[in-house]
């Protein structure tokens, strides 16, 4: 059983991981607190992105000799592999830590096994403390590393009747400023923002987080065979261009580039294909309180011919954003065509 001091330390470690300047990418958010045998906090640390020391190592370094006989409280199972940095299991053993309390088992097959390695070396190990809370730190990352392609969020901003543009192609702005600002925050939480080449040609998007003080920008990704025009706004950002129509292949390639979470922002061709192939993990749908009538539908033909074939999402939240409505949805856990894990 974890002590009160250990549970408090885990709460603190989760907060540290949450606050760390760790960009969304190949590495998870992780926090660590070192406790002395009397339960007092000796040191703490958080991970700040790929290539930088893991949270355990940051905390151990700050603790120095005081780590001997101490308890390490970590939000993620300590790694037992050499990746960009060395194994944390070794660092913990070298420092003389006698107990390790962690929240979430490492879903990364390459790094997992730390708990067993520590136990085998005589360390007292406890797993699962505040697991659900710590899970939220890296929800998309966990899904991605366990299956080998990124967590996909499909964002759509449409009218009540599901149109994303009027008949002449004009689409700025269907949703209001508040919704658009929220989308900038979604970009800040994503490793990549993906659009089809059709959207680049039609809308000339920039795909950046333009909120004041934004320090991180997701990798812009364009899918499709046609060239990104040199004079487009995106060209200056040197987007990653995936010249394929096979989105499954494109997603695997993105994962190979270190992308674990991708925000898909258009257009209908990509949205249709992702839904048809069951590749969507989360839908964030902004509904503007307006009816366009004729115009461009957000989603094209999914190959559904009769109502018995439709798949319903589970609604996870409904919120008002300015004058618009945001609906968050997830595909039902089972029965996703081809996209299950
Ligand atoms: C982190 N930060 O604090 C911990 C991680 O490529 P590497 O060497 O940085 O290893 C990344 C893996 O290490 C990661 O997928 C996860 O499984 C494990 N633990 N990673 O980035 C940390 N503790
Ligand atoms: Zn590690």
CB-based burial, 24-34: b 16+ in 10 Å, e otherwise: bbbbbbbbbbb
Q: Which residue has the tokens 């339960």?
A: 39
Written as one string, the DSSP assignment of 23-68 is -SSSS---EEEEE-TTS-EEEEEE--STTSPPHHHHHHHHHGGGGT
Q: Quick check: 74 and 56 in contact, CB under 8 A?
A: yes
Tell which residue, 54, 4, 5, 45, has the closest CA to residue 27. 54
State in Å: Cα 40 to ligand 2 middle.
23
Output the residue whose Cα is nearest ligand 1's atom 18: 79
Could you tell which of 21, 76, 105, 141 is best to mutate to test the pocket of ligand 1, judged by most ligand atoms within 8 Å of the CB? 76
The CATH number that domain 4-143 falls under is 3.40.140.10
Helix (H, G, I), strand (E, B) or coil at 282: strand
Strands lying side by side in the sheet with 314-321: 240-242, 219-223, 192-196, 261-264, 151-159, 282-288, 324-330, 314-321
Active-site annotation holder among 6, 56, 182, 265? 56
Tell which residue, 4, 58, 51, has the closest CA to residue 34. 58
Quick one: which ligand is closest to 32's CA? 1
Residue-by-residue pLDDT tens, the chain, 341 positions:
999 999 999 999 999 999 999 999 999 999 999 999 999 999 999 999 999 999 999 999 999 999 999 999 999 999 999 988 899 999 999 999 999 999 999 999 999 999 999 999 999 999 999 999 999 999 999 999 999 999 999 999 999 999 999 988 887 889 999 999 999 999 999 999 999 999 999 999 999 999 999 999 999 999 999 999 999 999 999 999 999 989 999 999 999 999 999 999 989 999 999 999 999 999 999 999 999 999 999 999 999 999 999 989 999 999 999 999 999 999 987 433 333 33
pLDDT of 128: 98
Statement: the pTM of the whole predicted model exceeds 0.85: yes
pLDDT of 268: 95
Q: Quick check: 219 and 190 in contact, CB under 8 A?
A: no
Written as one string, the DSSP assignment of 161-191 is TSEEE-TTS--TTSS-HHHHHHHHHHHHT-S
Assess whether the previous peptide bond of 173 is cis (omega < 30° from 0): yes
pLDDT of 44: 98
CATH class in words for 148-330: alpha beta
Output the residue whose Cα is nearest ligand 1's atom 9: 84
pLDDT of 337: 38
Q: Which residues are near ligand 1 (CB < 6 Å)?
A: 27-28, 30, 47, 54-56, 76, 79, 83-85, 88, 106, 108, 111, 145
The first and second tokens of residue 8, run together, are 């408090």
Helix (H, G, I), strand (E, B) or coil at 144: helix
253 noted as active-site residue? no
Using CA atoms, how far apart are residues 101 and 267, in angstroms rounded to an integer? 45
**Beta-carbon-side half-sphere exposure of residue 250 (alpha carbons within 13 Å):** 26
Could you tell which of 24, 79, 259 is best to mutate to test the pocket of ligand 1, judged by most ligand atoms within 8 Å of the CB? 79
The first and second tokens of residue 124, run together, are 């007292």
pLDDT of 341: 35
Assess whether the previous peptide bond of 267 is cis (omega < 30° from 0): yes
Domain ranges of the chain: 4-143, 148-330
Q: Quick check: 186 and 154 in contact, CB under 8 A?
A: no
pLDDT of 83: 87
Neighbouring CB atoms inside 10 A of 336's CB total 17
Using DSSP bridges, classify how beta strands 163-165 and 296-297 pair: parallel, antiparallel or unpaired.
antiparallel
State in Å: Cα 79 to ligand 2 middle.
4
Q: Quick check: 267 and 196 in contact, CB under 8 A?
A: yes
Q: How far out from the chain centre does Cα 324 lie? A: 24
Within 8 A by CB and 6+ apart from 168, the residues are none
State in Å: Cα 26 to ligand 2 middle.
13
pLDDT of 340: 36
State in Å: Cα 28 to ligand 1 middle.
7
Q: Quick check: 232 and 198 in contact, CB under 8 A?
A: no
Q: At what angle do helices 4-19 and 55-63 cross, to 10 degrees?
A: 120
Using CA atoms, how far apart are residues 244 and 85, in angstroms rounded to an integer? 34
pLDDT of 170: 85
Residue 236 is given by DSSP the state G
Using CA atoms, how far apart are residues 104 and 186, in angstroms rounded to an integer? 24
Using CA atoms, how far apart are residues 203 and 272, in angstroms rounded to an integer? 18
């Amino acid at each position: 059983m974890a002590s009160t001091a250990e549970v408090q330390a885990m709460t603190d470690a989760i907060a540290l991981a949450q606050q760390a300047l760790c960009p969304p990418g190949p590495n998870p958010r992780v926090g660590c607190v070192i406790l002395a045998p009397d339960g007092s906090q000796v040191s703490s640390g958080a991970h700040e992105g790929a290539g930088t020391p893991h949270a355990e190592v940051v905390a151990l370094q700050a603790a120095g000799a005081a780590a001997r006989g101490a308890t390490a409280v970590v939000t993620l199972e300590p790694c037992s592999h050499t990746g960009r940095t060395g194994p944390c299991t070794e660092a913990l053993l070298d420092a003389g830590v006698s107990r390790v309390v962690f929240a979430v088992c490492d879903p990364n097959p390459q790094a997992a096994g730390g708990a067993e390695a520590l136990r085998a070396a005589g360390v007292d190990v406890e797993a699962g403390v505040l697991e659900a809370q710590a899970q939220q730190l890296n929800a998309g990352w966990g899904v991605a590393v366990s299956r080998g392609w990124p967590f996909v969020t499909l964002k759509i901003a449409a009218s009540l009747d599901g149109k994303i543009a009027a008949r002449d192609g004009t689409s700025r702005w269907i949703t209001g400023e508040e919704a658009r600002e929220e989308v900038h925050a979604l970009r800040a939480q994503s490793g990549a923002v993906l659009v089809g080449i059709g959207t680049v040609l039609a809308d000339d998007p920039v795909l950046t987080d333009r909120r004041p003080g934004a320090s991180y920008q997701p990798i812009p990704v364009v899918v499709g065979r046609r060239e990104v025009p040199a004079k487009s706004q995106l060209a200056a950002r040197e987007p990653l261009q995936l010249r394929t129509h096979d989105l499954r292949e494109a997603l695997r390639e993105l994962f190979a580039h270190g992308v674990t979470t991708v925000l898909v922002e258009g257009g209908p061709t990509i949205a249709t294909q992702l839904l048809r192939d069951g590749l969507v993990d989360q839908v964030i749908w902004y509904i503007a309180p307006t009816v366009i009538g004729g115009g461009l539908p957000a989603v094209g033909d999914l190959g559904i011919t009769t109502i018995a074939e439709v798949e319903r999402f589970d609604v996870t939240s409904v919120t008002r954003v300015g004058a618009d409505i945001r609906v968050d949805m997830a595909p039902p856990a089972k029965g996703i065509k081809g996209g299950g894990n």
